[in-house]
Structure 1
């Protein structure tokens, strides 16, 4: 048995097709079949039942898959660790974050990283936490900044909570509702709503519950977009309302362009943001600087929001 055979086995498990797996691992069908049979001979158990042209995983295969993944992961990490030791500051760093964070954090973070380590190769992914989680588990990124609940109960992940978000309805300064206290649900209905970023279904469900809205909630929004520049233009250029996190609007609030409404009932939603990474994964030295930048960003944002609340 070797890890090459394990990769062949896992490809069949993941894709559910011998032909698709053969294409992924760049083998002919006969060669892949021989590799699987050699692995079965080594383990002395049948891993797949042959049904015509198809393969059906046996209970042995399901039981063995997790250990096989760990062995393949450990081998890759061992080679990666040695490569990073040789490269020093050189090498790749891939990470992701949500769109609401990216517009204020991503560019300065990348700038600081490449300035301090010119040989670093940075790749970024801006997506929702569920997509980032999948990318992390497929080793497409080294870490992401997002909802720490994604890694709270997974022993293969390390989640570092950094910021507990507050949620509000946001409008431009000078909006007809900006000075009204309290704002009622009926007041909100007088203006167009904009759904910003990658909406979490739990958040949408709670919005519907709070304000007695029918599902799907997306039907109540005039605009649904993941483009944060469009959201900003709609909010600051007319009377649109945007529900979201305080940290997603800290820049505009600090500049006096956007205010949070005092809505009754308030948006009592829970979301803690932080750093989520794979346990045991060796990272380039620049990853520690990336983590420090993220921690400092959240700490600065928390101080700025505290000052804004005192005004």
Structure 2
């Protein structure tokens, strides 16, 4: 038996006659009769009885009618939910961001998703890049946003680079490195604070700071909790390495100041969206990715 046959039985029961039911379902009366007969043949029992007052259902027909109504109700709900998912009104998306990407993008992305698709269920994890990639491979996340240098080339991953983010070194007002005679050498000797760097990013920073072979940088504080790093930077003499946009509030308020040492003015942070190449994305995940792409292209609305 199929859904159409069940809908035809419902129409016959509610209309009370084959002629009226046929008009309701847009069939000829002989075609509707054949549909009901085919349903009865598959059920193995009579479902309808014709009488002087029209068509009535047998006890077996009443039982099938009750089930048919539940089935058609659930089917209609399923059609509606699938349409809403296609329109991103409902559904679920799970994604992860590294701490720096989260500091720049997450607030705006969550606000946009909630504002435009309030019934969308969103789970956003913030963790180290390696942990997020492990969760991606375990299919616990739809996609992740991590620093570009974390992900090695792999055929089982699909990578979408995001726009480069201006980055730099930031200190509290009155810091000794804000003096005009501050040099990159004095910066190398300072206590640095940052999220844990991937190896390639650490090498690029050493080049920017003109480190000599074997010279180590003094990372005094490392943490995946970026907000904790900001608090440390505003209250101590550490130098915080971060993307400019991640510190928008602190820069506007004057709680942090960017160092103007030439060698570190051109630093950038690069992020990318990573997903499993062989896994299809849900419409909700596609919408979240588009929202992240748009947020990554928004210009900074302050000067520094």
Task: Please report the TM-score for the alignment, with normalisation by the length of structure 1.
Answer: 0.59
CA distance in 2, matches of 1:286, 1:134: 22
CA distance 1:149–1:221, change in 2 (3 Å): closer
CA distance in 2, matches of 1:291, 1:167: 23
Matches of residues 135-154 of structure 1 in structure 2 within 5 Å? 135-148=135-148, 153-154=153-154
1:185 — aligned with what?
185
CA distance in 1, matches of 2:222, 2:286: 36
2:273 aligns with one of 272, 275, 288: 275
Matches of residues 1-311 of structure 1 in structure 2 within 5 Å? 85=82, 88=85, 89-148=89-148, 153-180=153-180, 183-186=183-186, 188-189=188-189, 191-194=190-193, 196-208=194-206, 210-212=210-212, 214=214, 217=217, 220-263=218-261, 265-266=263-264, 271-300=269-298, 303-304=299-300, 308=303
Cα distance per residue 1:191-223 (max 9 Å; x no partner): 4322x2232122233444532374765xx2322
Alignment coverage as a number of residue pairs: 221
CA distance 1:114–1:229, change in 2 (3 Å): same
CA distance in 1, matches of 2:183, 2:115: 47
**Does the 8 Å contact 2:98/2:126 carry over to 1?**
yes
Deviation at 1:183, TM superposition (A): 2.3
CA distance in 2, matches of 1:267, 1:203: 16
Deviation at 1:149, TM superposition (A): 5.1
Aligned residue for 1:226, secondary structure, equals coil
CA distance in 2, matches of 1:204, 1:112: 33
CA distance in 2, matches of 1:290, 1:92: 10
Runs of at least 5 residues in structure 2 that lack an aligned partner in the other structure = 1-78
Cα distance per residue 1:122-173 (max 9 Å; x no partner): 2222122232222222211111112345567333332222222344221123
